[in-house]
Structure 1
């Protein structure tokens, strides 16, 4: 793992965008990252009912289960300098 890219163990569910929001530190700077529920489901091949009350917990569990894969993909996007218009890394 590139030591100039650090992934703190901080992640939150954003119900409005149906995504997990998490930070990454790149050479001391914080970059917001997001991964959509749809992307999490495609990574895991899980089935999740969007109407479920505990969707946040299920999404966070999927994030934890696939954290290594997500971090690798985010590292690659940062290396290629692929950011959205707000300077975030988004996995949709």
Structure 2
């Protein structure tokens, strides 16, 4: 794990956008990460995120290091299962 990238404990689910969002910090910069996936409830979304948290953080690290930001400065992740 890259110690220069820290992940906050702030995962939320936006039912309007159908995505889970969480943030990372790199050199004092807050980076928004999104996982596009529909869920029946916020509780289901957060349970899914917690189940795959390590994998999502690892995927985020790779994309942040590759500077794979969207035009809005967001990292978009591939959803697991």
Above 0.5 in TM-score? yes
Aligned with residue 70 of structure 1, among 47, 50, 56: 56
Q: Structure 1: which 5+ residue stretches go unaligned? A: 39-49
Could you list the runs of 4 or more consecutive aligned residues of structure 1 that deviate by over 6 angstroms after TM superposition?
A: none
Give the length in aligned residue pairs.
78
Q: Structure 2: which 5+ residue stretches go unaligned? A: none
Q: Which structure has more strand as a fraction of its residues?
A: 2
The structure having more radius of gyration, on CA atoms, is 1
State the Cα distance separating 1:28 from its structure 2 match.
1.1
Q: Which structure has more helix as a fraction of its residues?
A: 1
Q: Tell me the TM-score normalized by structure 1.
A: 0.79
State the Cα distance separating 1:86 from its structure 2 match.
0.3
State the Cα distance separating 1:27 from its structure 2 match.
1.2
Counterpart CA distance in 2 for 1:4 and 1:91 is 19
Report the secondary structure of 1:35's partner residue.
Answer: strand
Q: Counterpart in 1 of 2:18?
A: 18
CA RMSD of aligned residues (A): 1.3
